[in-house]
Amino acid sequence: MKKTNTSIEKQIDAIISKMSLHEKIEMCHANSRMTSAGVPSQGIDELTMNDGPHGVREENLRHSWITQGRTDDFCTYLPTGSALAATWNRDMAYLHGSVLGEEARFRNKDVILGPGINIVRTPICGRNFEYMSEDPCHISELVVQSVKGIQDADTAACVKHFALNNQELDRSGVNVEVSDRALREIYLPAFKAAADADAYSFMGAYNIYKGQHCCHNKYLLNDILKDEWGWDGVVISDWAGTHDTEEAALYGLDIEMGTVVKDLIRYNEYFLGDPFEELCKTDEKYVKCLDDKVRRILRLMFKINKFSPDRKPGSFNTKEHQQSAYQIASEAMVLLKNDGILPLKKDVKKLLVVGDNAVTQHCHGGNSSAVKALYEITPLQGLINKYGKENIDFVKNISCRYDPIPTEYLDITELKAGCRAFVMECYDNTMFQGDPTVYYVDKVEAIHEGVARRFTGVITIPETGDYTFYVNADRGSKFIMNGEIVRLFTSANNGVPYIFTKHYEKGYRIKIRFDALTVGMSPVELLWTRDTSEMPVDDLLDKARAADAVIYCGGLNHTYDTESTDRPHMDLLGDQNELIPLLAKANPNTIVTITAGSPVTMPWLDEVKAVVWSWYSGMEGGNALADVISGNVCPSGKMPFTLPYKLEDCPAHRYGEYQATNCKYNEDIYVGYRGYEKDGIAPMFAFGYGLSYASFEYADLDVITNDDSIEVNFSISNTSDIDAKEVAQVYVGINGVEDRPLQELRGFEKVSIKGGETKRVSIVIKKDDLRVWNGGWTLINGSYTVYVAAASDDVRLKADILI
Ligand code: BGC
């Protein structure tokens, strides 16, 4: 239970005592896209929020997602959550948080909507790149520092999404069925750590648990978060995650955001607006809840020093922030394979760089986490900075990205201005009835008011070839080409985009009509990708043969690693799996870099010389990658999730369900490595795995058992002459007890060790952290094995202990 600051509580009492019922109500729901009301009569400004979680989102218009088009909101773009987790470095988490907190502060935001800490349960969850890890201990250690970093800057963290938001498939309709022990041992610990670290706010999740939406879920919010954990912060709904006034009033939601109402600016129509006010007039119990909500919001305002003249001013886009982005990125790179080719000599002369991801800037993608970055160094730019332009040849090859259909291929629709555009008719009802407001738009997306949009336009095919279309919208939407319904989005789609390929001749004309509904959670999108190979494969392979080395920059992009849809499979996009082996055959010195935030298959692994996992690594990512490739930086990242050979190996897919509507987490606590190990399924790369240019020896394990803790002491020697960092991991397993994982991560430390040096490492594990959920927390007495490991499948030392 937290200590109460009585002086602050008294001031809050005084404020509340002067507030009218209506003023209180106003504080509990949005008054714009990203703010909720303060108490104007008492000079208290509104509460300002912004995404999160790897940069402060650009300034949009007050009541919509349309950009203000400002020039002063280009921000520091940090590595995303999974990259941060790959550093296994608490200091990096603090740094990440402090950049976010300081930049949010400078931009006058009170709350930054992050970090995102849901467990990576399935490799294909669209938001894995925003989240951190498959292991609760790993996330807990990092989230505490990230929250501290944010809040030390007088900005509130908003830890999201509480809880069980582990897939985007049907994200607002799926009811998650999970055992109590998996909930307690796997899905909640990182949230508990954040609550204990006094994260000032939490965001509720979209999904349903025990039949109730998580944004007003009695069990999660009232019983666990607020009562059991004694947390005194603010629960903010996810945008449009609120569905019921009574539940929102009674079951723990404090601020309702983003609800879709008929006229977007009638915020009083929110569930916690007029309907809540009416309830408060009928029964005192609602007023009690209302007062509690207001108290929590005011408390948050006090905690971020909103009323203090000494509130920190924050800072924006400083050299230090850019340096922090670089530092985090350079510690995140994971060297997965190296047959001696890396580091690649700096005097290498003919380097061929291939692939879309060498030049793709990823900052703008991913949906709510998109960042308007001041700049983004791509891998190609980083390599040029390191090896010189004259030594690098680049071929982009096939585009793997879906882009809006360029307006140059559209007919002129706005005759007066001669403007090529789609016509967008916005309706305030889902039946497309009445008079719409008409706009001319250069791409298909849900902007401006209304719940239904009809897009029309005519495309003329520019070149003969294959065209792959990517269409998405909510259930009830219709996509029509030349009068034929190509896709009717039904509830079975559940947010999954419809992707189809057609061959067209140059000059063919397609009349598009897209009746797109935006009542639920799918984005409205019409994108395409074309076969745009710049050069025949044979010519590319000739170039590869002539080069000293080839660097293939592959992976995913935010068409796939994105909020609101999951990936359709675990494979790389486009023809990458065919092209990489050809390149490797043409040039044995082929290195692959993977830009991705969630697992991918690598059927060509044996054929290439090296693989570096380079993440969405922020504005300095390209420089960090080039520094690792060239050996300026010794790689020290390790995987925060298992990379299986195939999706079906993953426990969530083997035992559990992955589906819409109702999803049973039958794998129970055997999430990630716990599940692979249980069944002896060897992964392609294990959780915690990553190579270094240095080599390490572990020795002299000494485990001391104290009353409340165990101290795990051991030495690591850097047996190379390269200064390096090693992530040492401590796993613990209970012996002779049925139905428990072989081992579970209980501690880790990233240690800097100079070449030739030996360091003594001490990791202290609280005995409480060894408890299991058994209807309550229980410490099982008996024999345990302590494993000191370089990866979950690479145990270097072990000892048995009795507890
Ligand atoms: C996302 C949140 C985000 C919010 C506001 C939602 O769609 O799930 O993570 O903070 O939008 O942009």
Q: Over the stretch 647-688, which tens digit does the pLDDT of each residue have?
A: 999 999 999 899 999 999 999 999 999 999 999 999 999 999
Q: Is the pLDDT of residue 496 over 60?
A: yes
What is the C-alpha separation between 440 and 104, in angstroms, rounded?
Answer: 34
Q: What's the rounded mean pLDDT across residues 432-439?
A: 88
Q: Sorting pLDDT into bands at 50, 70 and 90, what band is 530? A: confident
- Ligand 1: residue whose CA is nearest its atom 12: 368
Contact 682, 716 (CB under 8 A): no
Q: Which amino acid is at 799?
A: A
Q: How many whole angstroms from 238 Cα to the centroid of ligand 1?
A: 6
Whose CA is closest to 23, among 308, 297, 304?
297
Q: From ligand 1's centre to the CA of 100, what distance in Å? A: 16
CA of 795 relative to ligand 1 center, distance in Å: 40
Tell me what pLDDT residue 14 has.
Answer: 97
Q: At what angle do helices 90-106 and 319-332 cross, to 10 degrees?
A: 150
**Tokens 């309907």 sit at which residue?**
275
Expressed in angstroms and rounded, the spacing between residue 380 Cα and the centre of ligand 1 is: 31
Q: Give the pLDDT of residue 365.
A: 87
pLDDT at residue number 1: 46
The answer, yes or no, to whether the previous bond of 161 is cis (omega within 30 of 0) is: yes
Residue 74: pLDDT over 80: yes
Ligand 1 atom 6 nearest Cα: 239
pLDDT at 2 over 60: no
From the alpha carbon of 160, which atom of ligand 1 is closest? 9
State in Å: Cα 165 to ligand 1 middle. 12
Contact status, residue 531 vs residue 401, Cβ threshold 8 Å = no
Which pLDDT score is estimated for 519?
A: 66
Mean pLDDT of 245-268: 92
Q: What is the pLDDT of residue 187?
A: 98
d(CA 493, CA 534): 35
- Cα 361 from Cα 770, distance rounded (Å): 43
In the predicted structure, residue 267 carries a pLDDT above the cut 80: yes
For ligand 1, what atom is nearest to the CA of residue 165? 8
**How far is it, in rounded angstroms, from Cα 60 to Cα 70?**
9
Catalytic residue, candidates 51, 135, 232, 238: 238
Centre of ligand 1 from the C-alpha of residue 257, in Å: 10
**Amino acid occupying residue 355:** G
Q: What atom in ligand 1 is closest to the CA of residue 34?
A: 5
* Nearest residue by C-alpha to atom 3 in ligand 1: 368
36 C-alpha to ligand 1 centroid (Å): 15
Average pLDDT over residues 317-333: 98
Higher-confidence residue of 452 and 603: namely 603
Residue 67: the pLDDT is: 82
From CA 95, how far away is CA 89, in angstroms rounded?
A: 10
Distance from Cα 131 to the centre of ligand 1, integer Å: 13
Give the model's pLDDT for residue 445. Answer: 86
Closest atom, ligand 1, to C-alpha of 368: 12
Question: Torsion angle, CA of 515/573/617/602, rounded to 10 degrees?
Answer: 150
Q: How confident is the model at residue 568 (pLDDT cuts 50, 70, 90)?
A: confident
Query: Is 107 in contact with 316 (CB distance < 8 Å)?
Result: yes
Question: Going by CA atoms, what residue is nearest to atom 4 of ligand 1?
Answer: 239
Which residues' Cβ are closer than 6 Å to ligand 1?
A: 51-52, 113, 160, 238-239, 368, 563
Residue nearest to atom 11 of ligand 1 (CA): 239
Atom of ligand 1 nearest to the CA of 367: 7
Joined together, the tokens standing for residue 478 give 């219709």
With a CB cutoff of 8 Å and minimum separation 6, the contacts of 610 are 335, 337, 338, 339, 341, 342, 591, 592
For the CA of 51, the nearest atom of ligand 1: 10
**Above 90 in pLDDT, residue 641?**
yes
CA of 84 to the centre of ligand 1 (A): 20
CA of 518 to the centre of ligand 1 (A): 15
For residue 114, the ligand 1 atom closest to its alpha carbon is 10
Task: Give the residue, 420 or 351, on which the prediction is more confident.
Answer: 351
Q: Report how far apart, in Å, the C-alpha atoms of 359 and of each of 100, 227, 377, 380, 482 are.
A: 26, 50, 9, 6, 36
Element (H, E) at 277: helix 274-282
- How far apart are the CA of 51 and the centre of ligand 1, in A? 7
- Ligand 1 pocket, mutate which of 113, 130, 161, 237 (most atoms under 8 A from CB): 113
Query: What is the radius of gyration, based on Cα positions, of the chain?
Result: 27
- Catalytic, 575? Answer no
Lowest mean pLDDT among 190-194, 559-563, 725-729: 559-563
Write down the pLDDT at residue 218.
Answer: 98
Question: 235-258: buried (b, 16+ CB within 10 Å) or exposed (e) per residue?
Answer: bbbbbbbbbbbebbbbbbbbbbbb
Q: Is the dihedral of CA 211, 243, 20, 236 positive or negative?
A: positive
Task: Give the mean pLDDT of 335-363.
Answer: 93
What's the CA gap between 209 and 217, in Å, rounded? 7
Q: Are 459 and 512 in contact (CB under 8 A)?
A: yes
Closest by Cα among 746, 631, 759 to 696: 759
Are residues 760 and 749 in contact, defined by beta-carbon separation less than 8 angstroms?
no
Percent of residues, the chain, with pLDDT higher than 70? 97
Question: What atom of ligand 1 comes closest to residue 158's alpha carbon?
Answer: 10
Task: For a ligand 1 pocket test, name from 67, 239, 566 the mutation site with the most ligand atoms within 8 angstroms of its C-beta.
Answer: 239
Question: How far does residue 290's CA lie from ligand 1's centre (Å)?
Answer: 24
Strand partners, 800: 785
CA pseudo-torsion sign 245, 246, 250, 252: negative
Average pLDDT over residues 120-129: 97
Nearest Cα residue to 13 out of 201, 307, 292: 292
CA distances 55 to 36, 119, 159, 548, 581, Å, are 21, 21, 15, 38, 36
Nearest atom in ligand 1 to the alpha carbon of residue 113 is: 10
Burial class of residue 657 in the structure, from the number of CB atoms within 10 Å of its CB (0-12 exposed, 13-18 middle, 19+ buried): middle
Neighbouring CB atoms inside 10 A of 411's CB total 15
Residues paired with residue 50 on neighbouring β-strands, in sequence order? 112
Q: Which of 238, 260, 371, 518 to mutate to test the pocket of ligand 1 (most atoms within 8 A of CB)?
A: 238
Quote the percentage of the chain above a pLDDT of 90: 81
Greatest extent of the chain over all pairs of C-alpha atoms, in Å: 83
- Which is higher by pLDDT, 429 or 725? 725
In this predicted structure, what is the pLDDT of residue 494? 65
Give the pairing of strands 47-51 and 709-718: unpaired
Q: Which residues pair with 753 in a beta bridge?
A: 724
- Ligand 1 probe mutation, 32, 33, 49, 51, most atoms within 8 A of CB: 51
**Nearest alpha carbon, ligand 1 atom 2:** 238
Nearest CA to ligand 1 atom 8: 238
Q: Where are the alpha helices (DSSP H) in 2-73?
A: 6-17, 21-27
What average pLDDT does the chain have? 94
